[in-house]
Amino acid sequence: MRNQAGMTLIEVLLAIALTALLAVLLGSLVNLWLDARGRLAARESTNARVLDLCGLLERRLGGLVMRPLQEHRLPLHNALLDWRPAENRLDWVALDGLPLSAGQGAGRLRRQRLEWDAAQERLRLWRSAELDAVEAPVWQPVFDQPGIERLQLEFHGGGRWLAYPPPAEPANGVRLTFTLQGAGYVCTFALPQTG
């Protein structure tokens, strides 16, 4: 019997196979970790965008005021919250941030418009300084969020949530429920007492 000085061929092949298996498993783990990290970063980005939207709407709805409007030199007889469900559109007048340049209206009151385009799955927020527009008002984009698959607006009045603003008294809250990239979100806004 001879004294063996090295590894046999079977031991070498087994060592190579185990090393290859370990490399494949380690590669799979790294790939899974990178995928999870990418999904988490995308989710955090989406959550940050939703927080931006909800914060922006909270500021705009928090400055809600009753102000008659005109278009084409005719009064609009607008409600405090003008909800048009057939157009998926909510219009209101609110105090905005700092006044714009003199050519865009020097006051802080602005028309606000939130509209959802169901066909394009986009939620947009617009503003206009033209409260008494000679023609149709010029709208400036404030926020544009693609990927909104579903949207529902509700108004709080009389102790419950309604599909329309309550007719007898001003609404005291607005709830926006929407689906963005398969995830559901709810933003609830308390409205100032305007009556």
C-alpha count within 13 angstroms, C-beta hemisphere, residue 159: 0
Which of 157, 161, 164, 159 has its CA nearest to residue 186? 161
| Alpha-carbon span 128 to 181, nearest angstrom | 29
For 64-118, what is each residue's pLDDT tens digit?
Answer: 998 888 888 888 878 889 999 999 999 999 987 655 555 555 578 999 999 999 9
Q: How far apart are CA 123 and CA 146, in angstroms?
A: 6
Q: Would you give the distance in Å from CA 110 to the centre of its chain?
A: 21
pLDDT for 53:
92
* Res 98: pLDDT: 59
For 131, the enclosing helix (H) or strand (E) is none
At 102 the pLDDT is 53
